[in-house]
């Protein structure tokens, strides 16, 4: 099975005043296509930093980051922007939906950067909403939707451009248990039936149980099945 993600010797340091803080220490990670990986760890362990490196939102201080067949740590800012548009679908804890737009219009937003016609954008957005079970809420604005429905719209928006990889940062962190369970089952369905590769950061062990593999990040090191720390 081919690897969608391969990190080798990844170090991430931040400078605060005169101090250098190393968040990730010689990290190595491989994620196969079609895998659903959960990343767990305490606050400040580097989970979101690692997710941002995988998604091309940040770059390592040292090491190689290969995602979707591209050595993304070597790409320029503009190249990364085009790469993310092709390969990454983002799902955030707080949805990041535009309140003045309908559900369908919010889902269409990533397609505005493509060459698709307006009618094709609308059709693709409608299909994405149908896939997440919200075809009947296409004309509703965010203030007319529940928390669980808002996250479904967010997932539809992440899916609409058919990305290689879904990256989910605490996707159930703002939801009650019932709605969280529905979102996690939806992610499982997308992984199982649509073959989507998913990397999910979560604090919630119950959420991590829905993934096919869980790794723990602690003090900049990964622990768990198939996680490796380079020497």
Of 17-21, 72-76, 143-147, give the lowest mean pLDDT range.
Answer: 17-21
The correct CATH number of 34-60+75-224 out of 3.20.20.450, 3.40.50.300, 3.40.50.920, 3.40.50.450 is 3.40.50.300
Residue 38 predicted with pLDDT over 90: yes
Residue 20 predicted with pLDDT over 90: no
Q: Could you tell me the pLDDT band of residue 223, with boundaries at 50, 70 and 90?
A: confident
Render pLDDT for 184-197 as a digit per residue (tens, 0 to 9): 999 999 999 999 99
Cβ contact 119:108 at 8 Å? no
What are the sequence ranges of the domains in the chain?
34-60+75-224
Query: What pLDDT score does 45 carry?
Result: 83
Render pLDDT for 204-213 as a digit per residue (tens, 0 to 9): 898 999 999 9
Q: CA-to-CA distance for 89 and 86, rounded, in angstroms?
A: 9
Q: CA-to-CA distance for 218 and 204, rounded, in angstroms?
A: 15
Please state the three-class secondary structure of the chain as a single string: CCEEEEEEEEEEEEEECCEEEEEEEEEEEEEECCCEEEEECCCCCCHHHHHHHHCCCCCCCEEEEEECCEEHHHCCHHHHHHHHHHHEEEECCCCCCCCCCCHHHHHHHHHHHCCCCHHHHHHHHHHHHHHCCCHHHCCCCHHHCCHHHHHHHHHHHHHCCCCCEEEEECCCCCCCHHHHHHHHHHHHHHHHHCCCEEEEECCCHHHHCCCCEEEEEECCEEECCCCEECC
Q: pTM of the entire structure?
A: 0.89
Residue 231 predicted with pLDDT over 80: no
Q: Could you tell me the pLDDT band of residue 225, with boundaries at 50, 70 and 90?
A: low
Tell me the average pLDDT of the chain.
89
Residue 88 predicted with pLDDT over 60: yes
Cα 21–Cα 22–Cα 24 angle in degrees, nearest 5: 150
Residue 227 predicted with pLDDT over 80: no
Size of the chain in residues: 231
Render pLDDT for 97-139 as a digit per residue (tens, 0 to 9): 999 999 999 999 988 878 888 999 999 999 999 999 989 999 9
User: Got the DSSP string for 136-187?
Assistant: GGTT--GGGS-HHHHHHHHHHHHHTT--SEEEEESTTTTS-HHHHHHHHHHH
101 DSSP 8-state letter: S
Query: What pLDDT score does 1 carry?
Result: 62
């Amino acid at each position: 099975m081919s690897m969608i993600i391969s990190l080798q010797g990844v170090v991430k340091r931040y400078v605060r005043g005169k101090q250098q803080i190393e968040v990730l220490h010689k990290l190595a990670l491989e994620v196969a296509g079609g895998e659903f990986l959960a990343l767990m760890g305490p606050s400040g362990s580097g989970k979101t930093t690692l997710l941002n490196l995988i998604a091309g939102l940040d770059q390592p201080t040292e090491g190689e980051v290969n995602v979707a067949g591209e050595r993304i740590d070597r790409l320029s800012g503009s190249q990364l922007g085009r790469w993310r548009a092709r390969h990454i679908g983002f799902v955030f804890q707080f949805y990041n939906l535009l309140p003045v737009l309908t559900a369908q219009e919010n889902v269409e937003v990533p397609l505005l950067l493509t060459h698709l016609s307006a009618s094709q954008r609308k059709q693709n957005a409608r299909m994405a909403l149908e896939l997440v079970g919200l075809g009947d809420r296409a004309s509703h604005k965010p203030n007319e939707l529940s928390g669980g429905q808002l996250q479904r719209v967010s997932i539809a928006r992440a899916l609409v451009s058919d990305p290689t990889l879904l990256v989910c940062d605490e996707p159930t962190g703002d939801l009650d248990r019932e709605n969280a369970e529905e979102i996690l089952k939806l992610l499982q369905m997308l992984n199982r039936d649509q073959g989507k590769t998913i990397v999910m950061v979560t604090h919630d062990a119950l959420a991590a149980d829905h993934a096919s593999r869980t790794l723990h990040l602690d003090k900049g090191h990964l622990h768990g099945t198939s996680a490796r720390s380079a020497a």
